Amino acid sequence: MGEPADVEPADEAASVDTARSAPLIEGAKKPWWRRTSTWIVAGAILVAGAATVWAVTSNESSPPTDTVAVVNFTEVERTTLEQVTTLDGTLGFVAGDPIIYAGSTDGITTIPAGGAGTITLLPPEGSTVEEGGILYTRDEQPVIVFYGEIPAYRTLSTRSTDGTDVIQLEEALTRLGYDEDGDFDLDGDFTNATRDAIKALQEDLGIDDTGVLLMGDYVFVDGPVFVAETLVDVGSAVSPGSPVIATSTMPSGTVTAAVGEGDVLVHGDILFVVEGDPVTLFVTDVPFYRALAIGTVGDDVRVLEETLAESGFDAGGTLAVDGTFDDATLEAVVAWQESIGAPVDGVVNVGEIVVVEDPIRIATAHIGIGSDVAPGTMLVTPSTSTSVVSVQLPAEDQELVVVGDAVNVVMPNGSDEPGTVTSVGTVAIRSQEFGTYFEVEVILDREGAGAALDEAPVEVELIDDRAVDVLAVPVSALLALSEGGYAVEIDDGAGGTTLVGVEVGMYADGWVEITSTQIEAGMRVVTP
Protein backbone atom coordinates (compact mmCIF):
# COMPACT_ATOMS: atom_id res chain seq x y z
CA MET A 1 0.00 0.00 0.00
CA GLY A 2 1.38 3.45 -0.95
CA GLU A 3 1.65 6.44 1.32
CA PRO A 4 -1.73 8.01 2.02
CA ALA A 5 -2.50 11.44 0.72
CA ASP A 6 -3.27 14.37 2.98
CA VAL A 7 -6.62 14.03 4.73
CA GLU A 8 -9.08 16.89 4.37
CA PRO A 9 -12.30 16.94 6.40
CA ALA A 10 -15.35 17.33 4.18
CA ASP A 11 -17.02 19.51 6.83
CA GLU A 12 -15.06 22.14 8.74
CA ALA A 13 -16.23 21.78 12.33
CA ALA A 14 -13.47 22.61 14.75
CA SER A 15 -15.39 21.37 17.82
CA VAL A 16 -15.98 18.01 16.16
CA ASP A 17 -12.33 17.70 15.19
CA THR A 18 -11.30 18.58 18.71
CA ALA A 19 -13.70 16.19 20.29
CA ARG A 20 -12.37 13.28 18.31
CA SER A 21 -8.96 13.70 19.83
CA ALA A 22 -10.11 14.85 23.26
CA PRO A 23 -9.77 12.85 26.45
CA LEU A 24 -13.06 11.63 27.93
CA ILE A 25 -14.47 12.50 31.37
CA GLU A 26 -13.68 10.08 34.11
CA GLY A 27 -15.52 6.82 33.74
CA ALA A 28 -16.79 7.51 30.23
CA LYS A 29 -16.09 5.22 27.27
CA LYS A 30 -14.53 6.28 23.98
CA PRO A 31 -16.74 8.18 21.53
CA TRP A 32 -18.56 5.76 19.28
CA TRP A 33 -16.59 6.86 16.20
CA ARG A 34 -13.42 5.75 17.98
CA ARG A 35 -14.95 2.35 18.74
CA THR A 36 -16.58 1.41 15.43
CA SER A 37 -15.01 -0.56 12.67
CA THR A 38 -14.02 1.30 9.49
CA TRP A 39 -13.97 0.11 5.96
CA ILE A 40 -12.70 1.33 2.56
CA VAL A 41 -15.32 1.94 -0.09
CA ALA A 42 -14.56 3.67 -3.40
CA GLY A 43 -11.37 5.16 -1.98
CA ALA A 44 -13.02 6.66 1.16
CA ILE A 45 -12.78 5.74 4.85
CA LEU A 46 -16.33 5.80 6.27
CA VAL A 47 -17.11 6.02 9.97
CA ALA A 48 -20.48 4.35 10.53
CA GLY A 49 -23.16 6.81 11.63
CA ALA A 50 -20.79 9.81 11.69
CA ALA A 51 -21.81 13.15 10.25
CA THR A 52 -18.34 13.82 8.78
CA VAL A 53 -16.63 11.93 5.92
CA TRP A 54 -12.91 12.14 5.14
CA ALA A 55 -11.74 11.68 1.52
CA VAL A 56 -8.65 9.46 1.17
CA THR A 57 -6.49 8.65 -1.88
CA SER A 58 -4.91 5.19 -2.19
CA ASN A 59 -3.16 3.05 -4.81
CA GLU A 60 -4.64 -0.12 -3.41
CA SER A 61 -8.05 -1.17 -2.32
CA SER A 62 -9.44 -3.76 0.07
CA PRO A 63 -12.73 -5.57 -0.16
CA PRO A 64 -15.56 -4.18 2.01
CA THR A 65 -16.31 -5.85 5.31
CA ASP A 66 -19.70 -6.92 6.70
CA THR A 67 -19.19 -5.12 10.06
CA VAL A 68 -21.72 -2.41 10.89
CA ALA A 69 -21.52 -0.40 14.13
CA VAL A 70 -24.54 -0.43 16.49
CA VAL A 71 -25.37 2.99 17.89
CA ASN A 72 -27.39 3.30 21.12
CA PHE A 73 -29.59 6.29 21.71
CA THR A 74 -31.31 7.69 24.82
CA GLU A 75 -33.94 10.43 24.80
CA VAL A 76 -33.25 13.77 26.45
CA GLU A 77 -35.65 14.07 29.40
CA ARG A 78 -37.22 17.06 31.09
CA THR A 79 -37.33 16.07 34.72
CA THR A 80 -36.40 16.91 38.31
CA LEU A 81 -33.03 15.79 39.63
CA GLU A 82 -32.34 15.31 43.32
CA GLN A 83 -29.09 14.80 45.16
CA VAL A 84 -29.72 12.44 48.04
CA THR A 85 -27.86 11.63 51.26
CA THR A 86 -28.70 8.20 52.66
CA LEU A 87 -28.55 7.56 56.41
CA ASP A 88 -29.24 4.45 58.46
CA GLY A 89 -32.30 4.51 60.69
CA THR A 90 -34.29 2.28 63.01
CA LEU A 91 -38.04 1.78 62.65
CA GLY A 92 -40.11 1.83 65.81
CA PHE A 93 -43.40 3.25 67.04
CA VAL A 94 -44.65 6.26 68.94
CA ALA A 95 -44.88 5.29 72.62
CA GLY A 96 -48.19 5.42 74.44
CA ASP A 97 -49.37 5.33 78.05
CA PRO A 98 -50.42 2.03 79.65
CA ILE A 99 -54.13 1.25 79.41
CA ILE A 100 -55.60 0.60 82.85
CA TYR A 101 -58.91 -1.19 83.03
CA ALA A 102 -61.54 1.28 84.22
CA GLY A 103 -58.88 3.97 83.88
CA SER A 104 -58.03 3.66 87.55
CA THR A 105 -59.34 2.27 90.80
CA ASP A 106 -61.09 5.61 91.25
CA GLY A 107 -63.98 4.01 89.39
CA ILE A 108 -64.78 1.99 92.49
CA THR A 109 -67.72 3.38 94.44
CA THR A 110 -69.65 2.45 97.56
CA ILE A 111 -73.23 1.22 97.70
CA PRO A 112 -74.89 2.13 100.97
CA ALA A 113 -77.77 0.41 102.70
CA GLY A 114 -81.12 1.84 101.76
CA GLY A 115 -82.79 0.82 105.00
CA ALA A 116 -82.13 -0.41 108.53
CA GLY A 117 -81.73 -4.07 109.39
CA THR A 118 -79.32 -6.97 109.52
CA ILE A 119 -77.25 -8.20 106.60
CA THR A 120 -78.28 -11.78 105.89
CA LEU A 121 -76.52 -12.47 102.56
CA LEU A 122 -73.58 -10.92 100.72
CA PRO A 123 -72.23 -11.62 97.23
CA PRO A 124 -68.72 -13.11 96.92
CA GLU A 125 -65.94 -10.59 96.40
CA GLY A 126 -64.90 -10.59 92.73
CA SER A 127 -68.37 -11.60 91.54
CA THR A 128 -70.53 -9.56 89.16
CA VAL A 129 -74.21 -8.80 89.66
CA GLU A 130 -76.18 -7.80 86.57
CA GLU A 131 -79.48 -5.99 86.13
CA GLY A 132 -82.39 -7.86 87.72
CA GLY A 133 -80.05 -9.75 90.06
CA ILE A 134 -79.85 -9.67 93.85
CA LEU A 135 -77.00 -7.58 95.25
CA TYR A 136 -77.42 -8.60 98.92
CA THR A 137 -80.20 -9.28 101.40
CA ARG A 138 -81.20 -7.32 104.49
CA ASP A 139 -83.47 -9.09 106.94
CA GLU A 140 -83.72 -11.72 104.19
CA GLN A 141 -85.26 -9.12 101.86
CA PRO A 142 -83.39 -9.00 98.52
CA VAL A 143 -81.95 -5.76 97.19
CA ILE A 144 -82.55 -5.77 93.42
CA VAL A 145 -80.17 -4.17 90.91
CA PHE A 146 -81.52 -1.87 88.18
CA TYR A 147 -79.53 0.30 85.77
CA GLY A 148 -80.04 4.04 85.87
CA GLU A 149 -78.43 7.38 86.62
CA ILE A 150 -80.96 8.64 89.20
CA PRO A 151 -80.38 7.01 92.62
CA ALA A 152 -83.15 5.20 94.46
CA TYR A 153 -84.62 7.62 96.98
CA ARG A 154 -88.22 6.54 97.61
CA THR A 155 -90.73 3.71 97.61
CA LEU A 156 -92.22 3.10 94.18
CA SER A 157 -95.82 1.92 93.86
CA THR A 158 -99.13 2.88 92.27
CA ARG A 159 -99.37 5.57 94.94
CA SER A 160 -96.11 7.23 93.83
CA THR A 161 -96.17 10.58 92.11
CA ASP A 162 -94.91 10.90 88.57
CA GLY A 163 -91.14 11.07 88.23
CA THR A 164 -88.11 10.38 86.09
CA ASP A 165 -87.16 7.50 88.40
CA VAL A 166 -90.36 5.74 87.31
CA ILE A 167 -89.37 6.11 83.66
CA GLN A 168 -85.94 4.75 84.58
CA LEU A 169 -87.54 1.78 86.33
CA GLU A 170 -89.84 0.99 83.39
CA GLU A 171 -86.88 1.15 80.99
CA ALA A 172 -85.06 -1.38 83.20
CA LEU A 173 -88.11 -3.65 83.34
CA THR A 174 -88.36 -3.42 79.54
CA ARG A 175 -84.76 -4.53 79.14
CA LEU A 176 -85.46 -7.44 81.46
CA GLY A 177 -88.37 -8.56 79.30
CA TYR A 178 -91.26 -7.62 81.57
CA ASP A 179 -93.11 -5.40 79.09
CA GLU A 180 -93.56 -7.77 76.19
CA ASP A 181 -96.91 -6.21 75.29
CA GLY A 182 -95.52 -2.67 75.21
CA ASP A 183 -97.88 -1.39 77.92
CA PHE A 184 -95.43 1.11 79.39
CA ASP A 185 -96.07 4.71 78.40
CA LEU A 186 -92.69 5.90 79.73
CA ASP A 187 -94.35 9.09 80.89
CA GLY A 188 -93.25 8.85 84.53
CA ASP A 189 -96.60 7.46 85.74
CA PHE A 190 -96.47 4.27 87.85
CA THR A 191 -99.37 2.34 86.29
CA ASN A 192 -100.95 -1.05 86.81
CA ALA A 193 -98.71 -2.30 83.99
CA THR A 194 -95.68 -1.17 86.02
CA ARG A 195 -97.01 -2.97 89.10
CA ASP A 196 -97.66 -6.17 87.19
CA ALA A 197 -94.13 -6.14 85.73
CA ILE A 198 -92.63 -5.76 89.22
CA LYS A 199 -94.77 -8.61 90.51
CA ALA A 200 -93.56 -10.85 87.71
CA LEU A 201 -89.95 -10.00 88.51
CA GLN A 202 -90.46 -10.63 92.23
CA GLU A 203 -92.05 -13.96 91.48
CA ASP A 204 -89.11 -14.98 89.29
CA LEU A 205 -86.71 -14.03 92.10
CA GLY A 206 -88.69 -16.11 94.59
CA ILE A 207 -89.76 -13.25 96.84
CA ASP A 208 -93.14 -11.84 97.81
CA ASP A 209 -94.83 -10.50 94.67
CA THR A 210 -96.17 -7.29 96.15
CA GLY A 211 -95.75 -5.12 93.06
CA VAL A 212 -94.14 -2.53 95.30
CA LEU A 213 -90.46 -1.55 95.54
CA LEU A 214 -89.78 -0.33 99.05
CA MET A 215 -87.03 2.16 99.72
CA GLY A 216 -83.90 0.12 100.41
CA ASP A 217 -85.13 -2.93 98.46
CA TYR A 218 -83.63 -1.78 95.15
CA VAL A 219 -80.69 0.22 93.83
CA PHE A 220 -80.00 2.10 90.63
CA VAL A 221 -76.40 1.71 89.32
CA ASP A 222 -74.64 2.58 86.05
CA GLY A 223 -74.13 -0.99 84.92
CA PRO A 224 -73.17 -4.52 86.04
CA VAL A 225 -71.83 -4.37 89.58
CA PHE A 226 -68.38 -5.80 90.16
CA VAL A 227 -68.09 -6.59 93.86
CA ALA A 228 -64.63 -5.30 94.66
CA GLU A 229 -65.02 -5.64 98.44
CA THR A 230 -67.73 -6.33 101.02
CA LEU A 231 -67.51 -3.67 103.73
CA VAL A 232 -69.66 -5.47 106.33
CA ASP A 233 -70.11 -9.06 107.43
CA VAL A 234 -73.18 -11.24 107.37
CA GLY A 235 -74.97 -10.52 110.65
CA SER A 236 -73.85 -6.89 110.78
CA ALA A 237 -76.50 -4.33 111.64
CA VAL A 238 -76.80 -1.50 109.16
CA SER A 239 -78.70 1.76 109.06
CA PRO A 240 -79.69 3.86 106.02
CA GLY A 241 -76.52 5.22 104.44
CA SER A 242 -74.18 2.65 105.96
CA PRO A 243 -71.59 1.45 103.38
CA VAL A 244 -72.21 -2.16 102.42
CA ILE A 245 -70.28 -2.96 99.23
CA ALA A 246 -67.37 -1.35 97.37
CA THR A 247 -68.28 -1.87 93.76
CA SER A 248 -67.34 -1.07 90.22
CA THR A 249 -69.50 -1.33 87.16
CA MET A 250 -66.59 -2.77 85.17
CA PRO A 251 -66.78 -6.42 84.05
CA SER A 252 -64.22 -8.62 85.73
CA GLY A 253 -63.13 -12.21 85.75
CA THR A 254 -60.86 -14.51 83.76
CA VAL A 255 -59.57 -13.54 80.33
CA THR A 256 -60.66 -16.05 77.70
CA ALA A 257 -59.18 -14.30 74.65
CA ALA A 258 -56.70 -11.47 74.30
CA VAL A 259 -54.55 -9.60 71.82
CA GLY A 260 -50.82 -10.20 71.61
CA GLU A 261 -47.73 -8.08 71.32
CA GLY A 262 -47.35 -6.53 67.89
CA ASP A 263 -51.08 -6.60 67.14
CA VAL A 264 -52.49 -3.40 65.66
CA LEU A 265 -55.98 -2.39 66.80
CA VAL A 266 -58.29 0.19 65.28
CA HIS A 267 -61.73 1.48 66.13
CA GLY A 268 -64.15 -1.39 66.75
CA ASP A 269 -61.56 -4.15 67.31
CA ILE A 270 -61.83 -6.53 70.28
CA LEU A 271 -59.16 -5.84 72.91
CA PHE A 272 -59.86 -8.91 75.06
CA VAL A 273 -62.70 -11.15 76.25
CA VAL A 274 -63.66 -11.67 79.90
CA GLU A 275 -65.50 -14.96 80.40
CA GLY A 276 -67.30 -14.54 77.10
CA ASP A 277 -67.84 -10.76 77.38
CA PRO A 278 -65.90 -8.92 74.63
CA VAL A 279 -64.26 -5.61 75.49
CA THR A 280 -64.16 -3.40 72.40
CA LEU A 281 -61.70 -0.62 71.55
CA PHE A 282 -63.20 2.73 70.53
CA VAL A 283 -60.93 5.39 69.04
CA THR A 284 -62.54 8.62 70.20
CA ASP A 285 -62.13 11.49 72.63
CA VAL A 286 -65.63 10.93 74.02
CA PRO A 287 -65.64 9.03 77.35
CA PHE A 288 -67.85 5.98 77.86
CA TYR A 289 -68.68 6.23 81.56
CA ARG A 290 -72.17 4.76 81.89
CA ALA A 291 -74.49 2.08 80.63
CA LEU A 292 -76.08 2.96 77.29
CA ALA A 293 -79.65 1.74 76.83
CA ILE A 294 -83.09 2.80 75.60
CA GLY A 295 -83.65 6.47 76.44
CA THR A 296 -80.00 7.40 77.00
CA VAL A 297 -78.98 10.65 75.32
CA GLY A 298 -75.49 12.10 74.81
CA ASP A 299 -72.26 12.22 72.80
CA ASP A 300 -71.35 8.67 73.86
CA VAL A 301 -74.56 7.44 72.25
CA ARG A 302 -73.74 9.44 69.11
CA VAL A 303 -70.29 7.82 68.81
CA LEU A 304 -71.87 4.41 69.35
CA GLU A 305 -74.44 5.10 66.61
CA GLU A 306 -71.74 6.33 64.21
CA THR A 307 -69.77 3.13 64.79
CA LEU A 308 -72.80 0.91 64.30
CA ALA A 309 -73.79 2.68 61.09
CA GLU A 310 -70.29 2.60 59.60
CA SER A 311 -69.94 -1.10 60.51
CA GLY A 312 -73.08 -2.10 58.66
CA PHE A 313 -75.41 -2.78 61.60
CA ASP A 314 -78.23 -0.59 60.28
CA ALA A 315 -79.91 -3.25 58.19
CA GLY A 316 -83.23 -1.44 58.19
CA GLY A 317 -81.75 1.91 57.29
CA THR A 318 -83.55 3.57 60.19
CA LEU A 319 -80.60 4.31 62.48
CA ALA A 320 -80.25 8.05 63.01
CA VAL A 321 -76.92 9.31 64.33
CA ASP A 322 -78.51 11.79 66.69
CA GLY A 323 -77.21 10.85 70.13
CA THR A 324 -80.52 9.36 71.26
CA PHE A 325 -80.71 5.66 72.11
CA ASP A 326 -84.01 4.70 70.47
CA ASP A 327 -85.50 1.51 69.02
CA ALA A 328 -83.34 1.71 65.89
CA THR A 329 -80.25 2.06 68.07
CA LEU A 330 -81.38 -0.92 70.10
CA GLU A 331 -81.82 -3.04 66.98
CA ALA A 332 -78.33 -2.12 65.76
CA VAL A 333 -76.77 -2.82 69.18
CA VAL A 334 -78.38 -6.25 69.27
CA ALA A 335 -77.01 -7.05 65.79
CA TRP A 336 -73.56 -5.87 66.86
CA GLN A 337 -73.62 -7.92 70.07
CA GLU A 338 -74.59 -11.02 68.11
CA SER A 339 -71.73 -10.48 65.66
CA ILE A 340 -69.02 -10.20 68.33
CA GLY A 341 -70.38 -12.95 70.56
CA ALA A 342 -71.40 -10.65 73.40
CA PRO A 343 -74.44 -11.22 75.65
CA VAL A 344 -77.40 -10.00 73.59
CA ASP A 345 -79.22 -7.65 75.94
CA GLY A 346 -79.33 -4.41 73.94
CA VAL A 347 -77.30 -2.61 76.62
CA VAL A 348 -73.73 -1.36 76.24
CA ASN A 349 -72.41 -1.56 79.77
CA VAL A 350 -69.57 0.33 81.33
CA GLY A 351 -66.36 -1.60 80.84
CA GLU A 352 -67.46 -3.20 77.57
CA ILE A 353 -65.76 -0.34 75.74
CA VAL A 354 -62.20 0.92 76.28
CA VAL A 355 -61.53 4.37 74.86
CA VAL A 356 -58.23 5.50 73.28
CA GLU A 357 -57.48 8.61 71.26
CA ASP A 358 -55.58 6.89 68.43
CA PRO A 359 -55.27 3.40 66.94
CA ILE A 360 -52.77 1.40 68.95
CA ARG A 361 -50.12 -1.20 68.45
CA ILE A 362 -49.57 -3.54 71.39
CA ALA A 363 -46.02 -3.03 72.59
CA THR A 364 -46.47 -5.05 75.80
CA ALA A 365 -49.42 -7.26 76.75
CA HIS A 366 -49.84 -7.45 80.53
CA ILE A 367 -52.73 -9.91 80.35
CA GLY A 368 -53.28 -13.12 78.48
CA ILE A 369 -55.62 -16.08 78.38
CA GLY A 370 -56.18 -17.18 81.96
CA SER A 371 -55.32 -13.81 83.49
CA ASP A 372 -57.69 -12.27 86.01
CA VAL A 373 -58.85 -8.73 85.34
CA ALA A 374 -60.67 -6.26 87.55
CA PRO A 375 -60.88 -2.50 87.81
CA GLY A 376 -57.35 -1.13 88.09
CA THR A 377 -55.72 -4.01 86.15
CA MET A 378 -53.03 -2.90 83.70
CA LEU A 379 -54.07 -4.32 80.35
CA VAL A 380 -51.49 -3.36 77.74
CA THR A 381 -48.79 -0.83 77.08
CA PRO A 382 -49.49 0.38 73.58
CA SER A 383 -47.70 2.33 70.98
CA THR A 384 -49.67 4.11 68.34
CA SER A 385 -49.88 2.53 64.91
CA THR A 386 -47.86 5.46 63.61
CA SER A 387 -44.37 4.30 62.69
CA VAL A 388 -41.41 6.48 63.66
CA VAL A 389 -37.85 6.23 62.36
CA SER A 390 -34.94 7.29 64.55
CA VAL A 391 -31.94 8.62 62.66
CA GLN A 392 -28.50 9.62 63.91
CA LEU A 393 -27.69 12.68 61.79
CA PRO A 394 -23.94 13.45 61.65
CA ALA A 395 -23.18 16.86 63.10
CA GLU A 396 -21.62 18.03 59.82
CA ASP A 397 -24.95 17.35 58.04
CA GLN A 398 -27.11 19.23 60.53
CA GLU A 399 -28.02 21.93 58.02
CA LEU A 400 -29.54 19.32 55.69
CA VAL A 401 -32.63 18.73 57.80
CA VAL A 402 -35.41 20.89 59.22
CA VAL A 403 -38.76 19.93 60.74
CA GLY A 404 -41.34 19.38 58.01
CA ASP A 405 -38.90 18.10 55.38
CA ALA A 406 -40.20 15.30 53.18
CA VAL A 407 -37.96 12.22 53.07
CA ASN A 408 -38.05 8.76 51.60
CA VAL A 409 -37.71 5.70 53.83
CA VAL A 410 -36.45 2.50 52.25
CA MET A 411 -38.08 -0.40 54.12
CA PRO A 412 -36.37 -3.73 54.85
CA ASN A 413 -38.12 -5.30 51.84
CA GLY A 414 -36.83 -2.56 49.52
CA SER A 415 -40.13 -0.70 49.17
CA ASP A 416 -40.32 3.08 49.56
CA GLU A 417 -42.48 4.88 52.12
CA PRO A 418 -42.85 8.66 52.25
CA GLY A 419 -42.08 10.25 55.58
CA THR A 420 -41.91 13.64 57.28
CA VAL A 421 -39.28 14.96 59.68
CA THR A 422 -41.09 15.71 62.95
CA SER A 423 -38.19 16.60 65.23
CA VAL A 424 -34.52 17.52 64.98
CA GLY A 425 -32.43 17.36 68.14
CA THR A 426 -30.72 20.53 69.28
CA VAL A 427 -28.20 18.87 71.58
CA ALA A 428 -25.27 17.11 69.98
CA ILE A 429 -24.66 13.56 71.18
CA ARG A 430 -21.28 11.86 71.06
CA SER A 431 -20.78 8.11 70.83
CA GLN A 432 -18.08 5.72 69.67
CA GLU A 433 -20.46 4.13 67.15
CA PHE A 434 -21.88 7.27 65.50
CA GLY A 435 -19.42 9.99 66.44
CA THR A 436 -21.09 13.35 67.05
CA TYR A 437 -24.70 13.38 65.89
CA PHE A 438 -28.16 14.83 66.37
CA GLU A 439 -31.26 12.72 66.92
CA VAL A 440 -33.83 13.07 64.13
CA GLU A 441 -37.32 11.55 64.12
CA VAL A 442 -39.27 10.77 60.97
CA ILE A 443 -42.95 9.76 60.93
CA LEU A 444 -44.16 7.56 58.07
CA ASP A 445 -46.96 9.38 56.29
CA ARG A 446 -49.09 6.34 55.50
CA GLU A 447 -51.12 5.14 58.49
CA GLY A 448 -50.19 1.59 59.40
CA ALA A 449 -47.05 1.50 57.27
CA GLY A 450 -44.51 -0.84 58.82
CA ALA A 451 -47.04 -1.99 61.40
CA ALA A 452 -45.62 -5.50 61.47
CA LEU A 453 -42.06 -4.29 62.05
CA ASP A 454 -40.31 -3.09 65.17
CA GLU A 455 -36.66 -2.22 65.72
CA ALA A 456 -36.15 -2.88 62.02
CA PRO A 457 -33.24 -1.34 60.10
CA VAL A 458 -34.23 1.11 57.35
CA GLU A 459 -32.57 3.73 55.19
CA VAL A 460 -33.62 7.36 55.18
CA GLU A 461 -32.97 9.38 52.03
CA LEU A 462 -32.53 13.12 52.60
CA ILE A 463 -32.62 15.55 49.68
CA ASP A 464 -29.45 17.67 49.59
CA ASP A 465 -30.28 19.64 46.46
CA ARG A 466 -32.90 19.66 43.75
CA ALA A 467 -32.99 20.87 40.12
CA VAL A 468 -36.59 21.23 38.97
CA ASP A 469 -37.85 21.01 35.39
CA VAL A 470 -34.45 20.67 33.72
CA LEU A 471 -33.12 18.84 30.65
CA ALA A 472 -31.12 15.76 31.58
CA VAL A 473 -29.17 13.01 29.85
CA PRO A 474 -27.29 9.97 31.13
CA VAL A 475 -23.83 10.92 32.39
CA SER A 476 -22.35 8.44 29.89
CA ALA A 477 -23.65 10.63 27.04
CA LEU A 478 -21.24 13.44 27.94
CA LEU A 479 -18.11 13.95 25.88
CA ALA A 480 -15.24 16.00 27.26
CA LEU A 481 -13.80 18.50 24.79
CA SER A 482 -10.04 18.96 24.68
CA GLU A 483 -10.44 22.71 24.66
CA GLY A 484 -12.66 22.45 27.78
CA GLY A 485 -16.32 21.89 28.40
CA TYR A 486 -18.65 19.12 27.29
CA ALA A 487 -20.76 18.05 24.34
CA VAL A 488 -23.35 15.44 23.49
CA GLU A 489 -23.96 13.70 20.20
CA ILE A 490 -27.48 14.31 18.87
CA ASP A 491 -29.32 12.16 16.35
CA ASP A 492 -29.75 14.39 13.29
CA GLY A 493 -32.71 12.40 11.98
CA ALA A 494 -30.94 11.66 8.68
CA GLY A 495 -28.91 8.65 9.71
CA GLY A 496 -26.08 10.68 11.24
CA THR A 497 -25.30 12.63 14.37
CA THR A 498 -24.35 16.14 15.30
CA LEU A 499 -22.05 17.15 18.13
CA VAL A 500 -23.57 19.91 20.28
CA GLY A 501 -21.80 21.72 23.10
CA VAL A 502 -23.64 21.83 26.46
CA GLU A 503 -23.28 23.33 29.90
CA VAL A 504 -23.65 20.84 32.71
CA GLY A 505 -25.35 21.33 36.04
CA MET A 506 -26.43 18.90 38.76
CA TYR A 507 -25.43 15.24 38.72
CA ALA A 508 -27.88 12.79 40.29
CA ASP A 509 -28.56 9.06 40.04
CA GLY A 510 -26.55 8.55 36.84
CA TRP A 511 -28.03 11.58 35.07
CA VAL A 512 -26.74 15.11 34.52
CA GLU A 513 -28.48 18.40 33.96
CA ILE A 514 -27.59 20.03 30.62
CA THR A 515 -28.26 23.45 29.09
CA SER A 516 -28.21 24.20 25.36
CA THR A 517 -30.36 26.29 23.03
CA GLN A 518 -30.04 23.54 20.42
CA ILE A 519 -31.43 20.71 22.51
CA GLU A 520 -35.01 19.93 23.46
CA ALA A 521 -36.70 17.17 25.42
CA GLY A 522 -37.33 14.10 23.30
CA MET A 523 -34.20 14.45 21.16
CA ARG A 524 -31.96 11.42 21.06
CA VAL A 525 -28.37 11.40 22.28
CA VAL A 526 -25.73 8.73 21.71
CA THR A 527 -24.94 6.62 24.75
CA PRO A 528 -22.54 3.69 25.11
- Residues 290-329: pLDDT tens digits? 778 888 899 999 999 999 999 999 878 899 999 999 999 9
> Is residue 271 packed enough to be buried (19+ CB in 10 Å), middle (13-18) or exposed (0-12)?
buried
Q: Give me the pLDDT at residue 386, please.
A: 72
Backbone angles phi, psi at 422, to 5 degrees: -110, -20
DSSP 8-state class, residue 161: P
CATH class, domain 105-248, is mainly beta
- Residues 476-519: pLDDT tens digits? 999 999 889 999 999 988 888 999 999 999 998 899 999 999 99
Q: Taking 80 as the threshold, does the pLDDT of residue 369 lie above it?
A: yes
Q: Give me the pLDDT at residue 96, please.
A: 73
Q: Give me the pLDDT at residue 66, please.
A: 55
Q: Which of 174, 169, 217 is nearest to 189 (CA)?
A: 169
**Cα three-residue angle 480-55-13, rounded to 5 degrees:** 35
Lowest-pLDDT range of 204-218, 372-386, 427-441: 372-386
Residue 476 region by backbone torsions, left for phi larger than 0, else alpha for psi between -120 and 50, else beta: alpha
* pLDDT tier for residue 68 given thresholds of 50, 70 and 90: low
The β-bridge partners of 502 are: 486
Domain extent listing, the chain:
86-96+382-464, 105-248, 255-377
CATH class, domain 86-96+382-464, is mainly beta
DSSP 8-state class, residue 36: S
Between CA 404 and CA 420 the distance in angstroms is 6
Q: Give me the pLDDT at residue 447, please.
A: 73
Backbone angles phi, psi at 316, to 5 degrees: -85, -5
- The more confidently predicted of residues 105 and 242 is 242
- Residues 243-300: pLDDT tens digits? 898 876 555 678 999 888 878 888 999 999 988 889 999 999 888 877 788 888 999 9
- Residues 144-194: pLDDT tens digits? 999 998 999 999 999 999 999 999 999 999 999 998 888 898 899 999 999
- The DSSP line for 189-227 is ---HHHHHHHHHHHHHHTS---S-B-TTSEEEESS-EEE
Lowest-pLDDT range of 5-14, 174-183, 223-232: 5-14
Q: Give me the pLDDT at residue 191, please.
A: 94
The mean pLDDT of the chain is: 81
Between CA 385 and CA 460 the distance in angstroms is 20
Q: Give me the pLDDT at residue 132, please.
A: 94
**How is domain 255-377 classified at the CATH fold level?**
Muramoyl-pentapeptide Carboxypeptidase; domain 1 (1.10.101)
* pLDDT tier for residue 64 given thresholds of 50, 70 and 90: low
The β-bridge partners of 229 are: 246
* pLDDT tier for residue 207 given thresholds of 50, 70 and 90: very high
pTM over 0.75: no
Q: Give me the pLDDT at residue 73, please.
A: 93
